[in-house]
Amino acid sequence: MLYIKPMTPTRFEEFKKDSQENYAKDLSKAGTSLEDAKKTVYEQFSRLVANGIGTTDQVFLDVLETATNESIGYLWLGYKGLAGKRVASINDIKIN
pLDDT tens for each residue of 7-36: 999 999 999 999 999 999 999 999 989 999
DSSP designation for 76: E
Model pLDDT for residues 46-78, shown as the tens digit of each residue: 999 999 999 999 999 999 999 999 999 999 999
Query: How high is the pLDDT of residue 50?
Result: 93
The percent of residues above 70 in pLDDT, for the chain, comes to 100
CA 88 to chain centroid: 13
Query: How high is the pLDDT of residue 82?
Result: 87
> Is the pLDDT confidence value at 90 over 90?
yes
- Between CA 54 and CA 9 the distance in angstroms is 9
Q: Please give the model's pTM, rounded to 2 decimal places.
A: 0.88
